[in-house]
Amino acid sequence: MAHGPAKGIGRWLRATNHKDIGTMYLWFSFAMFLLGGAFAMVIRAELFEPGMQIIKPEFFNQMTTMHGLIMVFGAIMPVFVGLANWMIPMMIGAPDMALPRLNNLSFWILPFGFSLLAATLFMPGGGPNFGWTFYAPLSTTYAPPTVNFFIFGIHIIGASSIMGSINIIATILNLRAPGMTLMKMPMFAWTWLITAFLLIAVMPVLAGAVTMMLMDINFGTSFFNAAGGGDPVLFQHVFWFFGHPEVYIIIIPAFGVMSAIIPTFSRKPLFGYSSMVYATAAIAFLSFIVWAHHMFTVGMPLAGELYFMYATMLIAVPTGVKVFNWITTMFRGAITYETPMLFAVAFVILFTIGGFTGLMLAIAPADIQYQDSYFVVAHFHYVMVAGALFSSTAAVYYWIPKWTGRMYNETMGKVHFWVSFVAFNVTFFPQHFLGLAGMPRRYADYSLQFADWNMVSSIGAFAYGASQLLFLYNVIATIVAGRKISDPKVWEGAEGLEWTVPTPAPHHTFSTPPAIK
Amino acid sequence: MVSKAKQLVRGGIGALALLPWLHAAAAEPAARPESWNLLNMPKGVTSVSQNVYDIHMVVIWICVWIGVAVFGVMFYSMFAHRKSRGHKPANFHESTKVELAWTIIPALILIVMAFPATTSLKHLYDTSEADLDVKITGYQWKWKYDYLGKDVSFISELATSQASIYGSAPKTEFYLEEVTEPLVIPVGKKVRLLMTGADVIHSWWVPELAVKRDAIPGFVNETWARVDKPGIYRGRCAELCGKDHAFMPIVVNAVPEEEFNAWLAKKQSETVALRALTEKTFTQDELMAKGEAVYGRTCAGCHGAAGEGVPGVFPAIKGSKIALGPVADHLAIVVNGKSGTAMQAFGAQLSEVDLAAAITYQRNAWGNKSVDNIVQPVDVFKVKNGQ
């Protein structure tokens, strides 16, 4: 009954198999990660010491903008879609994704979207230079002419996300093996179900924001232009109504990965499964009603300021529940520290630190000092890099033996972890100091009192960047020449349907649904 | 060197990480102040800033103690419950009591934090009964200060030289923190700060005053500061506003009241003197000399030091139709700006004399030879006032 994949390039262009599409998503996001990382290296090289040395301020702004856009939309979002494609059907006992052709389309428009975006760097006027948050009127009246390419790039990327989300929801709601009720699903499937609803809710809002920009720029409307009766602050409200759920879209699937890895290597079931589900849903709900905490200096009325402060502080409660649950899962387990577990433990520690600074940022009067400073940069890299990125790295180490039937090199994995862990903290911890001492973000150059910690941060960044090449090497070496394994249950403590199929996972799995105990 | 390095970067070639090392060997920056111990927020010199500092410290310490407790349990477990020490896994996976406790306790801690935060925010928002009103306008890339009702107004922009930024001159103590003219305010008086933007959104931030408020085109935001201690306080633009975002610092000079009044009187007499100068007729040489300085300060950022512009973004002035064409068109675009582009209305920023000098300079420099090559302040005055 099972047939193998097609031969040659057609296998990939016409792919409808969830594993093939998952693989393409993973490679695509890794390529974008290296590109966005290269931009980060340019930024840190320029900030290595005071003065402009290697690039001009206008190009610096293009680098910060493209770094943010590529990392958020090109690296972190697609990597989790890739993991969802690979793992969700195998976790819920489904033969494939519910909508395989839509799956193909949602992947294959991505390279075009990012080509449009990246091509602007080589056009007259240069690429987008208004930050990844592209506040109007800097991104409308004062934008370079290439802004239209940026807008269409965002439209394409957004369409891809919406299609991917529809597919994930359809798969989870329709294709679970008989007997797998929603409350028996692995947390990774739960977190993606919630994330997919968030995406469907907010990607159209982003599309609306960029379409209003398009109208303002080309068709004489004044949505964001006060001179024509519009309001630049309207842009920020619309953007952050998308943008705040967006940051949870990035982190919630990471929670799901953690809830798979920590029990495996603690050899103990996940603590508080149902409270994990409710906490995730609560975080998703709160994400819709806190957006203006990104705008505490914009001049909101006192009542608005107080409301957004209180609502934002509330997020600490469900987030705390998740952290406590992971730690209690480890408590009285039998823990071993393979590479995925090392990244998972680092995730819990560093994400919690990012949560603490998040709580500080929620306090509106104090945020007057933190807003738009390097303190914010440090905060969101603790949750984006040590959160989302560490978790996706852990996921690759955790599942690659299942994907390839080969074991990665554990020593190299551990070296990768320790260099990443140390370099990450050397890069981003000093940025807290810089921000508190008064250095704003998106600065191409800075005054002399910020010199020392900037240099430390740059050194950390170079080491962090280099350590990712080791990761790339380790992954390729595993695929090409890793030690072959065939035990379906790769990890001693692993539970779940994906560990019942053969290793490596065959092209088609669960053509007949498994029995759920 | 700079543009070559840029090409390398754009092409993605070369060991990027090595570039700054190579550069450091070529131009050692000047001695910089010891900055390793700059770790925390300044306590500042206003009641708001001290308030904010106290809340900041309270929240940090709460986070630290929660962190000690949570990570304490975690590290204990990571060490004690290792398989390699022969620990056998337990099998518990839920406890309603414990889960309720760690939902309720954090919520209570948050409520405790919310009280001082609310009080402090109310204080911060109380802009009533000010002694002095200053309107602050953010421009790409400078600040304009208007003392409302006092007939004093001036532009404050970066005083650090391009040579210093690009490494051909040393970096001095207040590199990127020095301006042509600071905002002067009286000590002990409540100063209401009214913020607006002329082009894009800027944000006026002085950490020691705990003032950060967005300057938004078309809207006026208000906040306030009462500085208790005389001194010079430095800040920066905090909202990305384009190319020279990092190059529009803020300097506030808080002085005793008598000193402030003397300064204000001097500025007022300067305003009168400048108005008188508007009626004077200047020679071409006078205008060219003055114009070169104004051009370098105000126009060169976009249009280039030699009027060459930036292809595709900012038009060249050298050989341009406007600089060589009728003087009326040239005056109109400089005074009123060009809507929908980055070309600002400089009529609101520069004096008649400065505008006349800059336009005259543009019409005669770099081989430009226009027919009507001299513009007098009075010509500018007529355009500004619609005559």
Say what percent of chain B tops pLDDT 70: 90
Q: Is A50 within 8 Å of B2 when comparing Cβ atoms?
A: no
- Range B350-374 average pLDDT: 87
pLDDT for B22 beyond 90: no
Tokens standing for residue A208 = 């609306």
pLDDT tens for residues A307-347?
A: 999 999 999 999 999 999 999 999 999 999 999 999 999 99
pLDDT, residue A7, reads 84
| DSSP result, B45-91 | SSHHHHHHHHHHHHHHHHHHHHHHHHHHHHHHHHHHTBGGGTPPP--
The pLDDT mean for chain A works out to: 96
- pLDDT tens digits along B234-255: 999 999 999 999 999 999 999 9
**Domain presence at residue A506:** no
B40 has which bridge partners? none
Q: How far apart are CA B64 and CA B39, in angstroms?
A: 16
- Alpha carbon B48 to its chain centroid, in Å, reads 21
Contact status of B81 with chain A (Cβ, < 8 Å): yes
User: Is residue A223 assigned to a domain?
Assistant: yes
pLDDT confidence of residue A377: 98
Residue A255, min C-alpha distance to chain B (Å): 18
B185-217 pLDDT per residue, tens: 999 999 999 999 999 999 999 999 999 999 999
| Residues 6 or more apart in contact with residue A368 via CB below 8 angstroms | A296, A297, B52, B124, B210, B211, B212
As a whole number, the mean pLDDT across chain B is 87
Instruction: Give the whole-angstrom CA distance, residue B179 versus residue B159.
Output: 5
CA A101 to chain B, closest CA, distance in angstroms equals 35
Chain B positions touching A225 (Cβ under 8 A) are: 218
Report phi then psi at A493, rounded to 5. -95, 5
Query: Are the beta carbons of A320 and B98 separated by less than 8 Å?
Result: no
Tell me which residues of chain B, numbers 250 to 309, contact chain A at a CB-CB cutoff of 8 Å. Answer: none
Write down the residue that tokens 């890299």 correspond to.
A381
pLDDT value of position B371:
76
- Dihedral angle computed from the Cα positions of residues B339, B341, B343 and B345, in that order, rounded to the nearest 10 degrees: 20
User: What pLDDT is recorded for position B342?
Assistant: 76
Average pLDDT over residues B168-187: 94
Q: Is the pLDDT of residue B138 over 50?
A: yes
Name the CATH superfamily for B132-275: Cupredoxins -  blue copper proteins (2.60.40.420)
Window B:115-144, CB contacts with A under 8 Å = 117-118, 120-122, 124-125, 140
The predicted model gives B7-25 an average pLDDT of 40
Domain interval for residue A340: 15-499
Mutate to test the interface with A, among B136, B140, B214 (most CBs of A within 10 A): B214
Q: How close, in Å, is residue A77 to chain B by CA atoms?
A: 24
**Residue contact B243–A61, C-beta within 8 A:** yes
pLDDT classification of B133: cutoffs 50, 70, 90:
very high
Confirm or reject contact between B4 and chain A (CB < 8 A): no
Please count the structural domains in chain A: 1
Q: How far apart are CA B141 and CA B160, in angstroms?
A: 13
Instruction: Write a three-state SS string for A310-352.
Output: HHHHHCHHHHHHHHHHHHHHHCCCCECCCHHHHHHHHHHHHHH
- What does DSSP assign to residue B247? G
- For residue A245, pLDDT beyond 80: yes
CB contacts < 8 A (A, B): 358
A53 and B167 within 8 Å at the Cβ level: the answer is yes
What pLDDT does residue B350 have?
A: 86
Among chain A residues, CA nearest to B5: A54
Question: Would you place residue B174 in the very low, low, confident or very high pLDDT band (cuts 50, 70, 90)?
Answer: very high
In a domain? residue A515: no
Residue A209 domain flag: yes
Helix axes A339-362, A410-437, angle to 10 degrees: 10
Cα–Cα dist B219/B214, whole Å: 10
Nearest CA in chain A to B91: A268
The pTM of this model reads 0.91
- A396: nearest Cα among A94, A41, A27: A27
- Chain A residues close to B239, C-beta within 8 Å: 135, 372
pLDDT at residue B34, as a whole number: 61
pLDDT at B6: 46
A277 vs B75: CA distance, rounded Å: 26
Inter-chain contact B236–A266, Cβ cutoff 8 Å?
no
The CA–CA distances, whole Å, from B56 to A293, A369, B53, B243 equal 17, 10, 5, 32
| Cα A362 to the center of its chain, rounded Å | 22
ipTM value, please give it.
Answer: 0.93
- Judged against a pLDDT cut of 70, whether residue A283 lies above it is answered with yes
Q: Do B93 and A271 touch (CB under 8 A)?
A: yes
Report the gap between the CA of A151 and the closest CA in chain B (Å): 18
CB-nearest to A436 from B41, B114, B203 is: B41
Q: Best mutation site among B95, B174, B239 for testing chain A: the one with the most A CBs within 10 Å?
A: B239
- For residue B212, list chain A residues with Cβ-Cβ distance below 8 A: 297, 368-369, 371-372
Across the interface, whether the CB atoms of B56 and A369 are under 8 A apart is answered: yes
**Contact partners, residue A439, CB within 8 Å, separation at least 6:** A373, A374, A446, A450, B236
Element holding B104 (H helix, E strand): helix B96-125
- Overall average pLDDT of the A183-198 stretch: 97
Averaged pLDDT for residues B26-43: 66
Instruction: Fold for B2-124, please state it.
Output: Helix Hairpins (1.10.287)
The distance of Cα A481 from the centroid of its chain, to the nearest Å, equals: 30
Q: Which residues of A are catalytic?
A: 67, 96, 132, 160-161, 244, 246, 248, 259, 293-294, 319, 322, 441
B175 touches chain A (CB under 8 A): yes
CA of B154 vs chain A CAs: smallest distance (Å): 24
pLDDT of B2:
42
For residue B61, the distance in angstroms to the closest alpha carbon of chain A comes to: 11
Q: Using a CB-CB distance cutoff of 8 angstroms, which residues of chain B are in contact with residue A450?
A: 35, 38
From the list A352, A450, A466, which residue is nearest B70 (CB)? A352
Rg (CA), chain A: 23
Output the six-digit token pair for B362. Answer: 């543009």
Higher pLDDT, residue B11 or A100: A100
Place of tokens 């705040």: A244
Q: Are the beta carbons of A135 and B239 separated by less than 8 Å?
A: yes
DSSP H or E stretch at residue B251: strand B250-255
User: Do the chains contact at B219 and A141, CB–CB below 8 Å?
Assistant: no
pLDDT range class, residue B340, cuts 50, 70, 90:
low
CATH at residue A33: 1.20.210.10
Name the residue facing A317 among B93, B106, B341 (closest C-beta).
Answer: B106
Contact B238 A42 (CB under 8 A): no
- pLDDT surpasses 80 at B29: no
| pLDDT tens, position by position, B254-308 | 999 999 999 999 999 998 888 888 888 888 888 898 899 899 888 888 898 889 8
The pLDDT of residue B117: 95
Q: Output the CA–CA distances (angstroms, integers) from residue B74 to A34, A329, B341, in the order listed.
A: 33, 10, 56
CA-CA distance, B142 to B297, in Å (whole number)? Answer: 11
User: CB–CB of A364 and B98 under 8 A?
Assistant: no
Tell me: the pLDDT tens digits for A250-271?
Answer: 999 999 999 999 999 999 999 9
pLDDT for the residue B19: 41
Through-space distance between the first and last CA atoms of chain B, rounded to whole angstroms: 49
Confirm whether A4 is domain-assigned.
Answer: no
Q: Could you say which of B63, B83, B98 has the minimum Cβ distance to residue A356?
A: B63
CATH 1.10.287.90 boundaries in chain B: 2-124
User: Is B345 part of the contact surface with chain A (CB cutoff 8 Å)?
Assistant: no
Per-residue pLDDT at A3: 66
Select B280-384's CATH number: 3.40.140.10, 1.20.1560.10, 1.10.760.10, 3.40.50.300. Answer: 1.10.760.10
- Chain B positions touching A299 (Cβ under 8 A) are 195, 213-214, 216, 219, 221-222
The set of long-range contacts for A290-294, using a CB threshold of 8 Å and a minimum separation of 24, is A290/A244, A290/A315, A291/A237, A291/A240, A291/A241, A291/A243, A291/A244, A292/A237, A292/A240, A293/A244, A293/A361, A293/A362, A293/A364, A293/A367, A294/A236, A294/A240, A294/A243, A294/A244
Max Cα-Cα span within chain B = 96
Q: Do A272 and B99 touch (CB under 8 A)?
A: yes
* Chain A residue with the nearest C-alpha to that of B160: A447
What's the pLDDT at B14? 38
Euclidean distance between CA atoms B193 and B187, whole angstroms? 15
Determine which of A46, A142, A236 to mutate to test the interface with B (most B C-beta atoms within 10 Å): A142
Collect contacts of A466-472 with beta carbons under 8 A, ≥24 apart: A466/A419, A466/B17, A467/A416, A467/A419, A467/A420, A467/A423, A468/A33, A468/A34, A468/A37, A468/A420, A470/A412, A470/A415, A470/A416, A470/A419, A471/A393, A471/A416, A472/A30, A472/A34
Residue B156 to chain A, least CA–CA distance (Å):
18
Least CB–CB distance from B218: residue in A55, A227, A433: A227
- Helix H or strand E segment including B221: strand B221-225
Q: Please, which pLDDT band fits residue B320 given cuts at 50, 70 and 90?
A: confident
- Going across the sheet that includes B132-139, the strands are B152-156, B142-147, B132-139, B191-197, B221-225
- Does any domain span residue A514? no
